[in-house]
Chain A
């Protein structure tokens, strides 16, 4: 009986011991956001820079194939029928405000904005980095935010976008298109000022996709390129030319120069999401891309290759061939686009000779003869849009280009199936529209 008594005593004791306090739970799987809120270390800040650039790739494929499908640049044949139904407006189908072709890029893009905002907040609350280094971080963060805002605005157009998103519980209102463009310009200019004060080198390392753009001075050339793009959308042609002069535009250089998204097979990295090999599920050029092309245009032959397929009443002849391997980089913005922006600004300012000269840089690069057609403004704009169509295929800008010149409609684009309609912009996502 004594043994029993002791055992019972022990067990009752156990029950009392286990009644002790539980500690507050710590996430065993990840670093916490709270950890960077005060006195963030350089390593934590660097991780945010790397993370922003890494995560920027998350929305890449959906963004480009969705915008490209609507602009009749391409078809995406894959398991999801909505790529050929909703996006092409089959039987009048409208775009859903809560489906992957919208949320698939909108959500990750704003996540990168959040990362940039966390970085900016962390800078204000740390003493562990120098003021010069802080300018480098903030110049980077603001430029990347602006880059994303431009892309989102191109999709949502006059629905406007949200610019002030630093407090998740008190998001700013949707800014209309003009205000948004002004805000983005301001953001880029602030970033530019920061970069000027950031010394000769960043305190952080940018991935190799940014080779040539990895010092405050050269990163600023990217920043100015974006600013020129915003000025273009604002139709502020003089500013476009001024800003391009400060950008990495190089008429004699590689037309593909520019910062890039890079990919690798390394652990935790991702593969080029626009590369599908020769699989039947692939990005196909809209047939008109090949049939409308001028003979000998190497932009067509290098960007697409013959591979017929038909799906959902659509017939394609060529698939995407820009990215030849699963680790081929994807350009963020290229010299070629800057050159075309220069041509456009010149056309708009009436400098037709200069415009043709600049256009011909692009045409020569594509293996074509110089432009010999009419040089009135309308003809040149027509030609500019043709060059942009072929130079910037699958780069996510065609939808905005057509819209800028009021051509995003059935008059100017082919209708493949009776009943298809052409969408002009994406709706505000369901969860943002409340």
Chain B
């Protein structure tokens, strides 16, 4: 019976199709709001792939069926739909894209949906929002404050990146907490690969090395738009790698018509956001305070120190090593050049860009050179090919910051114990004195040691779009796409044999890392769209395949010969290698139904298996369903003039996160002694029964649009349960194992996101667009099958404060000890709420002022940097009542601080040179010239007592934010811009 119905249905479709198909030719012109022609705009007959691009004069001509609807789109302008009716000559006036609600949002693996029909709160960021104001150093850094639901933390202030993004709270404790990044269909690697400097610095693990994360390789300049699927309900179709959300990045494509060139030059500087200053050693008593003067030896030592203090004061004064180390003003230069254009069948976009940035520590810096070519070719009306090629080479000099143990390398550590009367500058022979009170001389480290990363990376994407069946009201497509992301990441570190922590012991340290990552993915999907008048149905069915191979090789040497940088010359050599292979395979199916833009339903499922799971062939199902009701599109809605959109939406979805590579295995590690090679059991016990962590999210919201979308409001509430939360369960050490990964916990995140704004003024001489965002997230551990514990590697134990996993409590809570030694909850790393306020004003037509404020309320940091300076008696507030109170107390609670801040993230003033001038001056070759000045992080208002409340000493993975240990201080940057289009 079902079969008969289906046949009947198909017959109906086909006959109606044939009946409607009567083509005729229409011509038209597309102009902007000033009446100027818009070349390169895309004109498509709705429901088909029949289309054309406008010519240089903005005109087009097209064969259309009767009753056709045209969709006209152009970058930066609102997409329009025009019902052709009986017209044969059409003029379309495009408007600036000032309304978010008209956007097309990429949500599925093979489909898009108009924002006004979307059932999820998907954040979209356009090129203009991303880097149109100022120039944050990396792509992820450019997302700060621009989307709700995101908590972005900095893992290092060094140029070249070091940022972690958390969408809607923490989704995993040991696993992936950073979203999945997809560029034009290619899965990107965003790992932080350590350089191995921990072997010289004594840092506890690779994540304390403050390495950059690899999204830094992406050039923001090439990005057309970004969609952020924040939770499981929106990201379910991405399956078992989407627990922490998905960031979909679309790069710029060319448009048919005249070739347009875009040139942009930035010149700027970076300087420390703030320096703390040092303790004022104005009295002898403060110097004597370092010693125990109850013993004769102590008195003698104190006398000697006072003599040095006096000598320095009578000489050139006390040294300010903080300023010496962090006080550099770094130059920044960035040049972008792009060209785009093409014919009706082939379009291209190509770009090249160079960024050169110096850090606030002399010798640190970042240089990125990248090249992109995107091509789109319509082979026939049945086949379209899109390719993207991206190559990048970057070099980052990161120097030495963060946690360490006796390495004498990390500046913050050295400075904490360096006394300002001890000369650390080199003598006339270029020899640096030892630091008598710390493990290293910070100036020697700065001038003679290296910690460098270099990346060669290529990202290639290919997408094929076949139109298998094309009728006026139906379209069957097969899309096949995928790509590769391959990079070679090299690291080079060098610690001089003359360094005091090395001399006579390991006699220097040299390491070279050769890390190769090969990611590949491909997917195929049938997409079937059927239009039944007011009802629109879209089905998709497909598969995906992802593989990832990693080979991290680190060669290191100690016992160095002077001035030799070849590891072969090292007297003692060691090699570490870590291999990993992962493969995922999945099927997906999704059905969408749009009833006259009034009710939009969607349901789907993804079936995934992965070699990371205990059973590599078990398929896990990740279902989804959503509904959006556009109340204002119903006939009964009579307020259309004032309230043009009222959308009520709800969505449900599941995603997964497979256990990390290696969690399944129990193995032996290698240990060598006296020329014999042995094996010793690894401390982490494998678990062959692991399953993916499963997140189930329900989100509901309402979207309102007023006065033709001049003002809008978007409010969303979500609740997300993570089941089978993997934890590194500590085992009784007497078992011989320290821990194993087990799925012994559940977690829930709940939160609220609000976004509202619009065009406050639209006068000719003054236009002001403003957007306010507000969001918060609360988490709770709802199940914990093991006793409450401090997760390994996230902080430094209860004595110094630590994250603490405890049933009924927030996953990001900090526990520590109070003055009486009791274990107490001291705070929470996650902010209470965040607010951002984004504004763009156009003044006198040619001036554009933009600014973005970001306020993060609450959340705590463990300020262990201050703990170190207290220990070294060098804290800037050591002698204040606050400092004194701290010193006279014990416990880790005293180093917990409120991390509230208000920051002017971005501010810019641009001036568009009047078009007539440029036209006359360049004789028509130059279209547009813009000059401006901008700044990033220019103002920060906070009571937090270290360089920056946004801090993470433990890298970007797992639970890691809010612990402050001798970080690379954050920079503020200011730029002068010049850009031209011709």
Q: Could you list which residues of chain A lie within 8 angstroms of chain B, going by C-beta atoms? A: 1, 4, 7-8, 11-12, 14-15, 18-19, 21-25, 27-34, 44, 46-55, 57, 78-82, 86, 90-94, 96, 98-100, 103, 106-107, 110-115, 117-118, 161-162, 165, 168, 171, 205, 207-209, 262, 264-269, 271, 275-281, 287, 308, 310, 312-315, 317, 326, 416-417, 429-432, 434
Contacts and interface: CB of A to CB of B under 8 A. Distances in A.
Contacts of B616: 22-25
Given A162-B734, A207-B676, A317 B297 contact: yes
B202 A115 contact: no
Contacts of B736: 110-111, 113-115, 117, 165, 168
Nearest to A51: B678
A307 B426 CA distance: 24
A379 to B, nearest CB: 30
Nearest to A24: B616
13 contacts: A7-B464, A11-B480, A22-B609, A25-B664, A27-B667, A57-B673, A112-B680, A165-B736, A168-B735, A171-B734, A264-B674, A280-B438, A314-B292
B792 to A, nearest CB: 10
A79 B617 contact: no
A310 B290 contact: yes
Interface in B539-555: 542-543, 545
Given A15-B543, A279-B439, A93 B821 contact: yes
B733 A106 contact: yes
A30 B686 CA distance: 12
B406 A54 contact: no
B611 A53 contact: no
B673 A4 contact: no
Given A32-B665, A92-B821, A268-B671, 8 more contacts: A8-B466, A12-B524, A27-B667, A29-B578, A51-B668, A110-B734, A117-B736, A279-B504
A99 B734 contact: no
B677 A432 contact: no
A268 B672 contact: yes
Interface stretch (B23-31, B388-396, B566-574): B566-574
A287 B126 CA distance: 67
B674 A269 contact: yes
A88 to B, nearest CB: 13
Interface in B786-833: 787, 789-790, 797-799, 821
A140 B572 CA distance: 30
Nearest to A100: B797
Contact of A115 (B290, B572, B611, B681): B681
A171 B578 CA distance: 32
B198 to A, nearest CB: 13
Contact of B676 (A14, A103, A205): A205
B786 to A, nearest CB: 8
Interface residues of B, number: 97
B382 A310 contact: no
Contacts of B733: 103, 106-107, 110, 429, 431-432
A29 B579 contact: yes
A52 B732 contact: no
B505 A277 contact: yes
A416 to B, nearest CB: 8
Contacts of B522: 14
B845 interface: no
A310 B298 contact: yes
Contacts of B298: 310, 315
Nearest to A30: B667
B669 interface: yes
Nearest to A165: B734
Contacts of B190: none
Given A209-B674, A268-B672, A55 B680 contact: yes
B237 to A, nearest CB: 16
A271 B799 contact: no
Contacts of A96: 797-799
Contact of A168 (B291, B665, B737): B737
Interface stretch (B130-138, B580-588, B761-769): B580-588
A208 B674 contact: yes
B737 A114 contact: yes
B918 interface: no
A285 to B, nearest CB: 13
Interface in B430-474: 434-439, 464, 466, 468
Nearest to A116: B736
Contact of B295 (A4, A57, A268, A315): A315
Interface in B654-700: 662, 664-683, 685
A18 B583 CA distance: 11
A86 B611 CA distance: 45
A207 B674 CA distance: 6
Contact of A326 (B501, B506, B545, B821): B506
Given A53-B673, A171-B735, A280 B436 contact: yes
Nearest to B292: A315
B674 A262 contact: yes
A19 to B, nearest CB: 6
A100 B405 CA distance: 13
A50 B677 contact: yes
A207 B672 CA distance: 10
A315 B291 contact: yes
A266 B675 contact: yes
Nearest to A317: B297
Given A30-B665, A47-B677, A51-B679, A266 B297 contact: no
Nearest to B467: A4
Nearest to B584: A22
Contacts of A31: 667-668, 679
B878 interface: no
B463 to A, nearest CB: 12
A33 B681 contact: yes
Contacts of A277: 503-505
B301 A310 contact: yes
B916 interface: no
B233 interface: no
A429 B731 CA distance: 11
B318 interface: no
B577 interface: yes
Contacts of B408: 281
Contacts of A48: 678-679
B682 A30 contact: yes
B738 interface: yes
B799 A82 contact: yes
B734 A4 contact: no
B336 interface: no
Contact of B202 (A23, A79, A208, A308): A79
Given A29-B667, A32-B666, A50-B671, A276 B505 contact: yes
A23 B581 CA distance: 12
Given A53-B678, A268-B677, A287-B295, A171 B732 contact: yes
B964 to A, nearest CB: 16
Contacts of B673: 50, 53-54, 57, 207, 209, 262, 264, 269
Given A106-B733, A280-B437, A18 B679 contact: no
B575 interface: yes
A107 B684 CA distance: 12
A264 to B, nearest CB: 6
Contacts of A90: 890
Contacts of A78: 405-406
Contacts of B680: 51-52, 54-55, 111-112, 115
A165 B665 contact: no
B432 to A, nearest CB: 15
Which 3 residue pairs of A and B lie closest in terms of their CB atoms, listed nearest first? A114-B736, A50-B678, A51-B678
Contact of A29 (B505, B558, B662): B662
B802 to A, nearest CB: 9
A143 to B, nearest CB: 17
A412 to B, nearest CB: 20
Given A268-B672, A312-B871, A47 B681 contact: no
A141 to B, nearest CB: 13
